[in-house]
Structure 1
Amino acid sequence: MPMVDRPAFLDFEKPIADLEKKIEELNATAEKSGAKGVRTEVAKLRQKANQALADLYQNLDPWRRTQVARHPDRPHFKDYVDELIGDYVELAGDRKFGEDAAILGGMGRFRGRRVVVLGHEKGRTTPQRLKHNFGMARPEGYRKAVRLMDMADKFGLSVLTFVDTAGAYPGLDAEARGQAEAIARATERCLTLGVPMVSVITGEGGSGGAVAIAAANHVLMLENSVYSVISPEGAASILYRSADRAKDAATAMKITAQDLLGFGVIDGIIAEPLGGAHRARANAIKAVGDAVEKALYQLEGLDADGLRAQRADRFYRIGRSLADLPSSADGAPKAG
């Protein structure tokens, strides 16, 4: 997939969009006339647009970060595989019911290491989104993930996961086939792996659908991704009886990478290019690769028992620290 970085603008980016439109118009005029004065004006506007973008993204609130995390032009699982994983062989099916394209995975090489890689794929075009069910997996997707993790454990392969889902699919067919059990089994398999596991929240980390493939030794988040037990809209509907208060819920739940690093829920934040990962996908993917490589290096000295112990201690520690947090004044929990 070509890394063409001309993203759609979000609602709060309208001032930037207006400047970009003026720049395009002036560029067209400059090409026709060749006037140096026009090119000078373009350069000034470009500098102004870049500064406005930097100022805007320096102070994003949790709701705006949620919008950025959902941007359709952010790198997807297939983009990470194409750029970071060599000799990739995709493996399909859960060997129990069928194939689920919401979670993809397979074997390959990551910077010289043999790995099993898996993650959510949302798709870009409408047909792709329907095929991948918008990244919302059914039980067979999580059972496929377990199958791949079993294989990684058997052959001593590190596991890399890329998380980007609004949550597991809540349809009747998924529930009938044991959605909750499948998520629990996948989470359990993450925790019992005897090989290194590194997970990256690349967009949305929604509820158990995310945790099922993110109970890792190291959990990293892109700077503008979010990780939560429920979507802000869902939380607002429950807490405030109105989905219109999603912004309030996003703030109350503490779902940003910056908040979660402070709580110890994640182990590191991966900086994004100016204006978000969707504006420079190749640069964002390289930054993710560098962070994953560093995390794997830090786990090299641990044997199977040590990896399991480190992982268990990591999650026990989160539970203990979050249990001590007070609730916010309006009844919303302080941590996501």
Structure 2
Amino acid sequence: ALLIAESTKTAVFELRRPGLGLLATSRAELGESFGLIGGFAYALIHYCLLVAYSSQGGAALSQLIGLDSEEAIVAFVLIFGTAVALGSEKFVQVLNSFLVFIVGSSFFAVCLLAWPQVSLDRLLALPKDWSAAFAAIPICILALVYHNIVPLIVTQFQGDRSKISLSLTIGSALPLTMFFVWIGIVLAAVPPTVITSGQDPVNALESTLDGPTADTLAFTVAVFKLSAVATSFFGFYFGLRTFLLDVLERSSDDVDQMTDIFVSGIILIPPAFAALVLGDGVFLSALDFAGTFGIPILFGIFPAAIVLSQRQRQRQEEIAIIRKDSVLSFSQFLPG
């Protein structure tokens, strides 16, 4: 993530184009061929994840308000897609902050409700199948990927290195901590036979509780799922939006209303249609595909190659840059 931030900041300063995404940066530094490969992988990953989030968001909404799965998917995309597409930047920021608060609150509530069932002996008694660890790597990688919105963070913080680094560090540490706590509590609260039989541990946890407590847990888990999926949906919407604007050679600050509507339609309609056609099983399949094909290359190898290219060029041109006062203009373009 820090490599993407550095490459984006450098490219914005050098090309004098605010709002650059990973596609434009890779094309400028690595050439058109790598730019096309990266662009294809970027679009494929984002569409896969938007399909997954549309499906899972619809499932959570269905659990909350009782719609059938198809209606819930349409409702999810209409509600949150319209909000992010037509809402002002300030509105989306406030809505996203509210949803993040709901994520934290519902997560804390789920942990409290499940805590009476937690047993350290259950956790230690779980069978260990290390052969399954490799198959889980794509999902583990994907669970901590937010790199698509790093260029947007660079723009919002106007290239301020300390603010960007702090934001990315906190943004990585908090989800990682929540994942460990969540996995530990759920695995320690259900019998080991649930895990070995392949059952959903969350559903099994709900079945171990009685009456109102079980209903409250089910409702809280659905709220947690919906708010978490919605925040991820927002992030990948903006990541794909930045990508498509790069393709159209437009910056985020130079978009007319018709172009914005066109781009929003391209982002929202295909994933919703795919989620409707492919059904409930598409969620894990889409996550696994995105985590296996593309993310390690696009968000791992590409940023490292871009930064290496930029640093080598900067070393070679250091004397010329100083003589032309480009360092001064670099600093003035985006403070920080």
Q: TM-score, normalised by structure 1?
A: 0.27
Structure having greater relative contact order (Cα 8 Å, sep ≥ 6): 2
Larger strand fraction of residues: 1
TM-score (norm 2): 0.27
